[in-house]
Structures are given as C-alpha cells and as structure tokens.
Amino acid sequence: MTSLLAAVEAGGTKFRAAVMTPELGLVDEVRVPTTEPNETLGAVEAFFARYDSVVALGIASFGPLLVDHSSPMYGSIASTPKPGWAGAPLLSRLRDTLGVPTDIQTDVEAAAVAEASHGAGLGHTRVAYVTVGTGIGAAIAIDGVPFRGRDHTELGHIPVKRIADDEFAGLCPFHNDCLEGMAAGPAIAERWNADPETLTGRDEVWDLEAAYLAQLVRTFTYGFAPDIVIFGGGVGTRPDMADRIRAAVATDNAGYAVSGSPLVATAGLGEDAGLIGAAMMAQRLAG
C-alpha cells in the first residue's frame, strides 16, 4: 500500500485537511468550519481515520502560535481573542491521534516555504510571503526554512507612517493604526464604507492600500534583504495589486537599497500555499 502524507491548514474560519501522495498529489480533502477545538479537531481526526497508510503529518496554523521547541506547549495556540482556542494543543492532539511524526508552522511560514519551492518564489533562496485579507501575516523563508526568533514574526503589527490626509483611526484592537489596523480587509471596508470586492476601479482605494503595504516591503528590504516579496490573500492577490505595491515601493524606499528593492509578485499557489506547505513538512518528516 502506498504511503500517504497528511496535511492540515488550520484557519480562523475553516480547517482544511488533506491526504496527499509522497509527490504532493491530492488524494482527498475535507473542509471543516472553525468552531470550538473539540468539534473542529474531532472532525479532522475523523477524516484521517479513513486512511491507515498515513506516515507523517504537517500542520500550517493560524496564530499566534507557540513555536519554541523547548516549551511543553510547543505547537499550541497562544493567547488569542478567538473563543476557546487559547492554549488549544493542535500539534500534540493530532500527533497523538494519528500516531505519526508531526510538525507545525504558522500558515504564512508554510506558505512562504511552498511558494519558494512550487510557486512565485521558485528559483529564489530568500522568499518573503505576505497574506492580506481579514488580517495581515508575513514570514520569510531562507533556503526553505522559516526565519524565527524566540517566537514567529508578527510583521502585520509593525507601526506604519500615516499617509497624508488619511484620517482613519485604524482597527487593530491592540495598536489601532499598525499595518493590520490600517490595511487589512476590515480596515478597507471600514474606511471606505464598502465591501472591498465592490471597490474595483477605485484607484484612490488601492493606491492608498499599496502605500501602506509598501512600508512592509521596506521593512523586509532593510531587515531581511529578501530576493522577492510575494503577496497572497484576498487583497494581496488582486490582479493589479503587485504592480501598485511595486510602484509605491519605489517611492517609499526613496532610492536607498544596497542592491535594489526586492521583486514584488503575486502568490502563484493561490489559496493552496498553506496546505502545500503543510504537506511539505510531512514530506520531510517521512524522509
């Protein structure tokens, strides 16, 4: 019987669980609403129980996530406003249920690794990935390994310079006008009093958005010097978003960059980046 890989993308609104071949071909998948941990994880476990040839599991999870390997809570959700999920032991519970080698990354870490190997970052060794949707998450993979300090990065919460004449207060419950508070999907909706999907053709909306996201590219440029910054998520993958960000970066960097600004690109794997990244973790664990 062919050995299979298990992959989970744990999101704030839904979980995706998949079984894949060793070559990352999709065998089967289920999508489960993110309700409370026992219900959601129970449904994921029930899905995997149908397959007895799974040899490893990779998890790409929403954060904040405890990623300190020395912690007994490694792989658990940290303090979060999402009801019931603070302290949820994603890694240990699924590992113990499946009984196979298991590891975990944040969803944006996994997406960065996947885009580097199979998406828009192919051919680059230092790949930054940003998702812009309900929130803003960012990560960088160097030679296929996510950069981490004691914790994973939280670059969606960097302070940003307010764009001239923008009087929007910001929506972040912690910082008000950090990047996420000024440029995530809910901030766009609140500032313009409209669903972002209805704002196509409004240059003033998307040029302002690009001006804020360019400040994250500037942080990446001077802090990590990546080869490429890839934008995913519902906002990040808008057809003209990469072009607008690229133009804004040229203005924001003001000509100062040792080797020039990094490339700016749209995610090549779309909504599958996190899931493929999770499967790549399982692939490595399986040897």
Confidence tier at 151 by pLDDT (50, 70, 90): confident
C-alpha span between 282 and 287 (Å, rounded): 9
What pLDDT, on the 0 to 100 scale, is given for residue 6? 98
Range 156-164 average pLDDT: 97
Percent of residues, the chain, with pLDDT higher than 90: 90
Range 243-266 average pLDDT: 92
**Which of 68, 62, 145 has the alpha carbon at shortest distance from 107?**
62
What pLDDT, on the 0 to 100 scale, is given for residue 1? 60
pLDDT tens track for 168-217: 999 999 999 999 999 999 999 999 999 999 999 999 999 999 999 999 99
> Mean pLDDT score of the chain, rounded to an integer?
95
pLDDT tens track for 66-95: 999 999 999 999 988 789 999 999 999 999
What pLDDT, on the 0 to 100 scale, is given for residue 260? 82
pLDDT tens track for 118-127: 999 999 999 9
| Residue linked to tokens 């910001």 | 170
Confidence tier at 117 by pLDDT (50, 70, 90): very high
Residue 11: CB atoms within 10 Å: 19
**Strand stretches in 143-247, DSSP E:** 145-146, 228-232
pLDDT tens track for 4-24: 999 999 998 899 999 999 999
Range 45-74 average pLDDT: 95
142 — alpha (psi -120 to 50), left (phi > 0) or beta?
beta
C-alpha span between 108 and 146 (Å, rounded): 9
Q: Report pTM.
A: 0.94
Structural domains of the chain sorted by starting position, each given as residue range(s) with its CATH number in brackets? 4-106 (3.30.420.40), 120-268 (3.30.420.40)
